[in-house]
Chain A
Amino acid sequence: SSELTQDPAVSVALGQTVRITCQGDSLRYYYASWYQQKPRQAPVLVIYDKNNRPSGIPDRFSGSSSGNTASLTIAGAQAEDEADYYCNSRDSSGNHPHVIFGGGTKVTVL
């Protein structure tokens, strides 16, 4: 079955830029969606489609994709951006469509 691969952890200095990547075969025909999850909270959608942000998500969050790799960039990271980030897509390549998540990337703001 299809998988999405993320680096487990990354750190960024306050105010600097960090990029998180997600790789997987499904990303050749699905734009990745990205979710932010803080401790003891439900995930929140932050980026979807080619590079769209839901209402209320700061414009320092952006997304991009190329081939089988999607990226989430936080430009000018803030303390409140410290969280786990998950990529997600759908795999409709076989007879049984299903949803897949990456393993998550823990972002630490120093």
Chain B
Amino acid sequence: QVQLQQWGAGLLKPSETLSLTCAVYGGSFSGYYWSWIRQPPGKGLEWIGEINHSGSTNYNPSLKSRVNVSVDTSKNQFSLKLSAVTAADTAAYYCARGENQRVLKNYYYYIMDVWGQGTTVTVSS
């Protein structure tokens, strides 16, 4: 059974860089997208970005200028860096495994079926 375990600093000052890592246990690293998602207090889910095993990335256009997602396949880990944080970046951050499947000629589904436990990140001076 695949499990994701994440860690990183929970308290940052404005302008610092958020850094989180997610380790994948018990399953293959290839063939999936590995995502970061966040959720500000009392608000909905926001996708931040993803990476696959070969290092190909996609980012949320609204965060792209500040985000970097990287992968270390030797450790089955992937990481998030978000630069120049402000109070608006205060949120619970989750890592998740994504799978994209074609089910019909022009129809697909995309799922995030395994999630990390979440890390609360607070940005405050």
The interface of chain A, by Cβ under 8 A from chain B, is 1, 29-31, 33, 35, 37, 42-45, 48-50, 54, 84, 86, 88-90, 92, 96-104
Contacts and interface: CB of A to CB of B under 8 A. Distances in A.
B44 A54 contact: no
B103 A31 contact: yes
Given A42-B94, A42-B115, A101-B47, A29 B106 contact: yes
In the A-B complex, the 5 residue pairs with the smallest Cβ-Cβ separation, listed nearest first, are A90-B110, A42-B115, A99-B47, A31-B109, A104-B44
Nearest to B116: A42
B86 interface: no
A90 B108 contact: yes
Contact of A100 (B47, B94, B113, B118): B47
Interface in B78-125: 94, 98, 100-101, 103, 106-113, 115-118
Contacts of B60: 98
Contacts of A44: 115
B45 A43 contact: yes
A37 to B, nearest CB: 8
16 contacts: A29-B107, A30-B110, A31-B103, A42-B94, A43-B94, A48-B109, A86-B44, A86-B45, A88-B45, A88-B110, A96-B59, A96-B61, A99-B58, A100-B47, A101-B46, A101-B47
B112 A33 contact: yes
B35 interface: yes
A101 B45 contact: yes
